[in-house]
Every structure is written in structure tokens, then in C-alpha cells.
């Protein structure tokens, strides 16, 4: 870095120059910081022939015309000649006028006579041999780059002013090629059409248009030509980040606890920054600012937090910031990971169990936590804060309470250790005790069914490698007994495939019996879940109708819960409802059936029976509004029944089943029992 500074100073000291120099570097890499803190003061300390150099810095960000550049130069130069302003700025330790203040100043005040009647020093105003111009953010100007370089060339070639350009040439090249792309494409297409080559098959259309654009609008070559004329030397800015990071940390000097922690962990900050694979110090600056909020909240509410956890929070905050803000991943990559336990379970499935579907999380962990041992490596409240900019206090407290409970992994229940960490991290002395602890937990039935399935995979794995003394028949007996008990309090697992895929171990045929038993019990849990949901919803009729409509819309519009409900109970509740609600319920059910028939066809038998019950009730009843509405309800159920009626191969098979042991009960050819399909004669399939 010192060599780069010295090269820039050599350019400034040179007696005669007719060229500018360029400092090229990636966005956020600290180029502007480098100018302000390393180069500017060095230049202004140079004195040649009794004259000191003055630097004039201008960002071209957002500049929309060349006149704006002239105004910026004018303001930056004349501000140094107003004695009162210069005195004020020196007193208040200000180096430049704020942009908003410049726009409010009267231009006449700068050009002519100042308020204290001081005339402009024209000797100084027209002097060029003691000024150094610095143009930053060349690629971010809204003016054609070629025009800007031509404008700057006037200072360099004619006035011989020392001029430094700071930019990101990679982005500059992209901007040159992509500017006015729609207009260029239109013109290129028009010309190709006029030439009669637009639709010829010699080349792909996209390639022809691209070549035509390059031929007509070859701005890239124009840029290279003017750059060759204007820029004498280009320096690639590849900073040493240690001193820059030290500069970033200075802003936290007022927070003694935070700055002490950050200073102690400068190595972690630098290493994590390097592992991000970017040079974007701007993201690092934001990440450190985010960590400030994290650190202050943790220190205030949980002052005894483990130091290793705080270090991991620092790494995670920086890592997640770079992954999201540098555009490496979509923001939702971590959304479905809700806890450190989820994170570690994914690592187990991807690392130990060879599940490559979670490849990104494995790479993230390998990259940022390589050679850094920590059992708690994911913080949901930090991920949410970085992703949404909302510091969710509830998630924060949930995370911190869980950290307090689980930071010492040796205090974790044995089954949690097997499911959330690599088993080889358990010492040989602890392993037998953990196995026995898990066996007792399995026998008690206190675990969830899906946890038992995953644990069985481990025990099968351990048994085949003789890490445990239990044979497979004993293990199966223990787990099946535990599953029977666990089914009483377990929750239905909807996404079975995803959960089971996280097991991933090569357990052979041992797993088949357990999985089959799991599916049987899980089906019962599904039945129980839908039955309880249906009862919870329909028990709102007739006393809590608003609640009924809300719950039904949220939980039952696309879910076939009615085939888990008693049609006679439904009938009783409908007949107790008001006339208006009878109409609304009917319309809602019909509309639901027509919109989602593919998802709800399992309710076919329910509505057939409900129609029969309604018809029986209305027979012989004296005419009233309610009776008429119930008859219409019954008639409109035909729309639902027709929508749900089994069609296709199953109906065809039913009608052609001459060997069926019992005749079909449905006059419309529908099947009352799916098992009747199994009773078909094999020769039916031959006929098909």
C-alpha cells in the first residue's frame, strides 16, 4: 500500500504531466477511504517552490450533465478563498462544505464579492500548478463516460492539472455495453431487416443483433482510445484490510465494552471478511453496525453470556450480511431454519448423512466456521434482523433462553445430542450412558414419532458397526413399543419425505418395517388431526358463526376435513342455524367444491350421506321457510356430489366387474369402498 501511495505522490511531484492517473478497484473496497485517509493529506503536505498543493475532490455519483461538474469544481475551489468561511471550517474541523449547504449558497456570493467585501484572488483562482483534481465514482455518473473523459481531458492536456480518477473499471465496462440497450436493439433490428438478413438462418437472431450493436455502437473501443490518450497509469487498488478495519472500529470508541470486544477479535473480523470472497468494506461496515445492536442488547439483557457465543454471533452477523447483501443467495435461503437445532440437524443430514440437497448450508458452515469450534452457530434473531431490518425482541429472547439451556452440550438430553451433532463428538466414556438414556426415553414414549424414526436409523447404524450391544430384533421391539406410546401425543407429520430424507443413513432393510409402522401410525394422527379440526370448526355453528366462517376459510377451503366428520352432526348443526346462515353455508360448500374438486373429492361419501339425512328430515314436514331452504340445500348438494363423483378407470372397472362379490351400492357407478377395486378379477386388466 505504501508503494501505491508513493507512486501517486511521484505523479504529483512531476514537473510536467499531460496525463491523468486512475485508481481502479471494486465497489466497497475502500478506495474513497484510501483517498481521504491516506492520499489526500500526503498530497497536501507536499511543498514545491514555496507552494503547497490543494486537493479538490468531486464525486460524480448522479451527475447528469457536464455543467454540474463545472459547478462542483467552482464551489470546491472558491470555498477556499472566503476567509470567513475558511475560518469557520477550520474552527469546526470541517474539511468540505456539506452538499446540501452548497445548493443553498448564492452563486453570486462566490463569484465576485463576498459578504465581507473581500475580492476574489484571481491569481490564486487561475493558478493550476498547485491543484490536484480527484474525480470519484466515474462509473456512477448519469453522463456518457466518453463525454466525461473528454471534459476531464481539457484540464489534463491543456491546463496540465494533476488529475486522479477513481473508479471500478469492471462496472464501467458493463455500463458502457448496456447503456441505451433498448434503443440500440431497436436500431440494430431495423438495420438487419433493411439488409434482409434479420430472419436468415445463418446465425441465431440474438447473436446477429449483438454483433450489429457492437459494430454500430462500439463505445468500448472509443473508451479505450480516449483512456489511452488521457490515462498515463492505472493502479489496481488491492488494500491491506487490517488498517482499514482498524479505521472502521474507531467509530465505536465511545462504547468501551464493544470496542474492547471488537479489538480483541480483530482477527475474527478480518478472517470472516476474507472468507466472504468479496472486497466490499461497505457491507462489512454495515455488518459491524448491526453487531453493535446485537452486542448491546445481549450485554444489557443477558450480561453473563458465554464469550464464545458472542464471538460466534460476531462471525454469524458478518457472514450472513455478506451472503445476503453481496447477492450470493436469495434472501429466503435461511427463512425455514428457525433454530440452531434446525441448523445442526441440516448439517448432520448433509455432512454425516450425505444429503446433498442442503449443500449450501454445509458450504456456508465449512467456510465461515472452519477451524472455529462452537456448538451454537445459528442465531435466528440475527438472521431476521439482517434480512428484514427488524430486531424482533421475541425471537431474540427465545434464542437467548435456548442458548442458556443448551450452550453446554453435555447437559443436553441424549436424543438431542444424537439428532443435532455428529455422533463422533461424543466421547467414548459418555457414549454408553447416552445410548442407555435414549433407550429409556424411547420406551417411555415421550418423544415424537418422527424423532423415533430418526433415532432408529442411528441405532441400526450403531448396531451394524457393533458400537452397541443390542441386536436388531431387540432394537425393533423397543422402538415399535415406544412408537405405540408416542403416537398418543405425537403430531401428524405432513412432509414425511423431507423429514425422512434428513436421516439419509444407509440402514438397509432394517428401516422398512419401522417406516411401514410409522406410516400406519402417522395416518391415524392425520385422521385425528382432521377430525379435531373439523369438530373445532363446526362446533361454532350456530352460536359463533363469524368464527366459523373465518376458521373454515382459513383451515378447510382446500382441505378435505369433512370426510373426517359425522354427516349426522353436520345435519344437526345446519338445522339449528338461522335461515340466512343455511343459505351462506350451502353457497360456501358448493363454491368450495367447484373450485377445489381435485383436492376435496375424498368428501364424496360424506355429502352423499348428508343429502340422504336432509331428504329424510324434510319428508312429511310442514312447509316453512327453513324447510324450503333445507330442501334447496339438499338439491344443491347434487352439484358437489357430481363434482366429487369418481370418474375414469375406477368407474369403468366397477361397471365391468362381473366377478365382484357384491353389487355396487351406487346407482351412479361410484365406488363406496376403495377396497372393492382389489376384488376385481385379474382378467379385467387383460381386457383393458
pLDDT for position 657: 47
Q: Can you list the residues of the chain whose pLDDT is less than 70?
A: 1, 27-28, 75-128, 173-184, 213-223, 225, 238-244, 327-331, 350-358, 407-411, 420-422, 425, 495-508, 647-688
- The C-alpha atoms of residue 445 and residue 183 are separated, in whole angstroms, by 70
Instruction: Tell me the C-alpha distance between 173 and 291, whole Å.
Output: 35
- Select from 135, 165, 325, 335 the least CA-distant residue to 233: 165
User: What pLDDT sits at residue 131?
Assistant: 83
Distance CA 24, CA 170 (A): 9
Can you give the three-state secondary structure of 649-668, one letter per residue?
Answer: HHHHHHHCCCCCCCCCCCCC
What is the C-alpha separation between 337 and 345, in angstroms, rounded? 10
Question: What's the rounded Cα separation, in Å, for the pair 600 and 597?
Answer: 5
Distances 110 to 68, 75, 120, 129, 429 between C-alpha atoms, Å: 16, 8, 8, 22, 82
Inter-axis angle of helices 579-595 and 545-555, nearest 10? 0
Give the torsion through C-alpha atoms of 633, 635, 637, 642, to 10 deg: -160
Q: What is the pLDDT of residue 201?
A: 73
The confidence score (pLDDT) of residue 426 equals 81
The pLDDT of residue 676 is: 37
Q: In 3-state terms, the chain is what percent helix, strand and coil (to 5)? A: 65, 5, 30
What digits encode the pLDDT tens for the residues 495-551?
A: 666 566 555 455 567 788 888 899 999 999 988 999 999 999 999 999 999 999 989
Residue by residue, what is the 3-state secondary structure of 413-458?
A: CHHHHHHHCCHHHCCCCCHHHHHHHHHHHHHHCCCCHHHHHHHHHH
Helix or strand (DSSP H, E) at 684: helix 683-687
Q: What is the CA radius of gyration of the chain?
A: 38
Residue with cell 457414549: 431
pLDDT in tens, 545-577: 999 998 998 889 988 989 889 999 999 999 999
Beta bridge partners of 348: none
Peptide bond into 542 cis (omega under 30): yes
Distance of CA 524 to the CA centre of its chain: 36
d(CA 441, CA 427): 20
Statement: the pTM of the whole predicted model exceeds 0.85: no
* Rounded CA separation 58/73 (Å): 8
Amino acid at each position: 500500500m505504501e508503494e501505491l501511495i508513493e507512486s501517486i505522490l511521484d505523479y504529483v511531484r512531476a514537473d510536467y504531466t499531460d496525463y491523468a492517473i486512475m485508481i481502479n478497484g471494486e465497489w466497497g473496497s475502500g478506495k474513497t477511504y484510501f483517498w481521504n485517509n491516506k492520499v489526500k493529506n500526503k498530497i497536501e503536505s507536499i511543498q514545491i517552490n514555496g507552494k503547497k498543493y490543494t486537493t479538490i475532490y468531486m464525486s460524480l455519483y448522479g451527475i447528469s450533465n457536464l455543467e454540474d461538474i463545472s459547478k462542483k469544481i467552482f464551489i470546491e475551489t472558491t470555498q477556499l478563498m472566503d476567509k470567513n468561511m475558511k475560518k469557520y471550517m477550520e474552527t469546526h474541523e470541517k474539511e468540505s462544505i456539506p452538499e446540501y449547504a452548497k445548493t443553498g449558497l448564492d452563486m453570486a456570493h462566490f463569484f465576485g464579492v463576498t459578504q465581507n467585501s473581500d475580492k476574489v484572488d484571481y491569481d490564486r483562482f487561475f493558478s493550476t500548478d498547485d491543484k490536484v483534481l480527484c474525480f470519484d465514482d466515474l462509473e456512477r455518473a448519469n453522463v456518457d463516460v466518453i463525454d466525461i473523459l473528454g471534459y476531464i481531458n481539457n484540464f489534463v492536456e491543456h491546463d496540465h492539472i494533476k488529475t486522479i480518477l477513481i473508479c471500478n473499471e469492471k462496472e464501467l465496462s458493463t455500463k458502457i455495453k448496456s447503456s441505451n440497450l433498448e434503443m440500440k436493439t431497436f436500431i440494430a433490428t431495423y438495420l438487419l431487416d433493411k439488409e434482409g438478413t434479420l430472419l436468415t438462418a445463418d446465425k441465431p437472431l440474438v447473436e446477429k443483433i449483438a454483433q450489429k450493436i457492437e459494430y454500430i455502437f462500439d463505445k468500448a473501443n472509443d473508451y479505450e482510445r480516449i483512456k489511452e490518450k488521457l490515462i498515463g497509469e492505472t493502479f489496481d487498488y488491492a488494500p491491506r484490510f487490517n488498517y482499514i478495519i482498524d479505521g472502521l472500529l474507531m467509530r465505536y470508541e465511545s462504547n468501551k465494552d464493544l470496542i474492547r470486544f471488537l479489538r480483541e477479535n480483530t482477527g475474527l473480523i478480518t478472517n470472516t471478511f476474507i472468507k466472504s470472497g468479496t472486497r466490499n468494506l461497505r457491507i462489512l461496515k454495515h455488518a459491524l453496525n448491526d453487531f453493535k445492536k446485537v452486542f448491546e442488547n445481549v450485554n444489557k439483557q443477558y450480561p453473563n453470556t458465554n464469550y464464545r457465543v458472542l464471538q460466534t454471533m460476531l462471525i454469524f452477523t458478518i457472514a450472513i450480511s455478506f451472503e445476503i447483501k453481496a447477492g450470493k443467495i436469495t434472501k429466503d435461503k435461511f427463512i425455514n431454519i428457525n433454530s440452531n437445532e434446525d441448523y445442526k440437524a441440516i448439517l448432520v443430514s448433509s455432512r454425516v448423512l450425505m444429503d446433498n440437497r442442503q449443500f449450501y448450508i454445509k458450504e456456508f458452515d465449512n467456510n465461515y466456521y472452519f477451524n472455529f469450534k462452537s456448538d451454537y452457530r445459528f442465531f435466528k434473531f440475527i438472521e431476521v434482523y439482517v434480512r428484514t431490518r427488524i430486531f424482533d425482541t421475541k425471537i431474540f429472547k427465545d434464542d437467548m433462553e435456548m442458548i442458556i439451556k443448551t450452550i453446554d452440550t453435555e447437559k443436553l438430553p441424549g436424543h438431542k445430542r444424537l439428532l443435532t451433532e455428529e455422533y463422533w463428538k461424543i466421547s467414548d466414556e459418555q457414549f454408553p450412558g447416552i445410548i442407555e438414556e435414549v433407550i429409556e426415553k424411547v420406551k417411555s414414549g415421550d418423544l415424537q414419532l418422527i424423532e423415533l424414526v430418526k433415532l432408529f436409523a442411528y441405532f441400526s447404524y450403531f448396531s451394524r458397526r457393533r458400537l452397541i450391544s443390542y441386536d436388531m430384533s431387540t432394537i425393533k421391539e423397543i422402538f415399535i413399543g415406544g412408537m405405540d406410546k408416542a403416537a398418543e401425543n405425537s403430531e401428524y407429520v405432513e412432509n414425511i419425505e423431507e423429514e425422512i430424507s434428513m436421516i439419509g443413513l444407509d440402514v438397509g432393510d432394517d428401516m422398512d418395517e419401522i417406516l411401514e409402522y410409522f406410516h400406519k401410525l402417522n395416518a391415524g394422527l392425520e385422521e385425528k388431526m382432521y377430525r379435531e379440526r373439523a369438530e373445532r370448526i363446526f362446533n361454532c355453528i350456530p352460536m359463533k358463526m363469524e368464527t366459523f366462517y373465518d376458521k373454515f376459510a382459513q383451515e378447510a377451503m382446500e382441505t378435505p376435513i369433512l370426510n373426517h366428520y359425522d354427516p349426522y352432526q353436520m345435519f344437526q348443526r345446519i338445522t339449528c342455524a338461522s335461515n340466512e346462515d343455511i343459505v351462506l353455508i350451502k353457497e360456501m360448500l358448493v363454491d368450495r367444491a367447484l373450485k377445489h374438486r381435485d383436492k376435496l373429492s375424498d368428501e364424496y361419501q360424506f355429502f352423499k350421506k348428508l343429502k340422504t339425512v336432509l331428504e329424510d328430515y324434510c319428508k312429511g314436514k310442514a312447509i316453512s321457510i327453513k324447510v324450503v331452504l333445507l330442501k334447496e340445500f339438499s338439491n344443491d348438494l347434487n352439484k358437489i356430489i357430481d363434482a366429487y363423483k369418481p370418474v375414469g378407470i375406477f368407474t369403468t372397472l366397477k361397471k365391468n366387474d362381473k366377478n365382484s362379490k357384491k353389487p355396487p351400492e351406487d346407482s351412479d357407478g361410484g365406488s363406496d369402498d376403495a377396497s372393492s377395486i382389489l376384488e376385481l378379477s385379474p382378467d379385467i386388466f387383460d381386457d383393458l
